[in-house]
């Protein structure tokens, strides 16, 4: 029996460098670099070298091709990955119009390229 897909948006596998700023509770912020593992219009799966707690708010700067996108999000999934890596599921919060356009453009270009190679 196959599970029904619950996601509203298509998720594409994509490795992109990202800068992660974790909002702290007591004016202490944690900064790290990471990379996206997959991207959709609603969120990303992100790999980092440091653990991040569930429900933490993040500010991400993601390199998508030649564009840099600044997006706020919240951690909805966090787990230990391979080696010294951690995987985060991040739900985007209130993307601005510019970020939304860049994400849509990136996903559309990726899908077009994928169709050409199939």
The pLDDT mean for the chain works out to: 80
Reduced to 3 states, what is the DSSP secondary structure of residue 53?
coil
List, for residues 27-63, the tens digit of each pLDDT value: 566 888 999 888 888 888 999 999 999 999 999 888 8
Reduced to 3 states, what is the DSSP secondary structure of residue 112?
helix
* Spans of all domains in the chain: 12-117
Reduced to 3 states, what is the DSSP secondary structure of residue 107?
helix
List, for residues 56-101, the tens digit of each pLDDT value: 999 988 887 777 888 899 999 999 988 899 999 999 897 788 888 8
Hey, what CATH class is 12-117 in? mainly beta
Strand pairing class (67-80; 86-93): antiparallel
Check if the beta carbon of residue 44 is closer than 8 Å to that of residue 62: yes
Q: What's CA 14's distance to the chain center, in Å? A: 10
């Amino acid at each position: 029996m196959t599970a029904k897909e619950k996601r509203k948006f298509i998720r594409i596998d994509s490795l992109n460098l990202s800068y992660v700023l974790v909002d702290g509770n007591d004016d202490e912020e944690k900064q790290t670099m990471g990379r996206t593992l997959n991207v959709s219009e609603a969120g990303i799966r992100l790999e980092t070298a440091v653990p991040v707690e569930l429900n933490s708010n993040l500010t991400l700067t993601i390199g998508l091709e030649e564009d840099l996108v600044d997006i706020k999000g919240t951690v909805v999934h966090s787990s230990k990955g391979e080696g010294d890596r951690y995987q985060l599921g991040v739900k985007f919060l209130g993307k601005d119009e510019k970020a939304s356009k860049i994400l849509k453009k990136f996903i559309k270009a990726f899908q077009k390229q994928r169709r050409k190679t199939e």
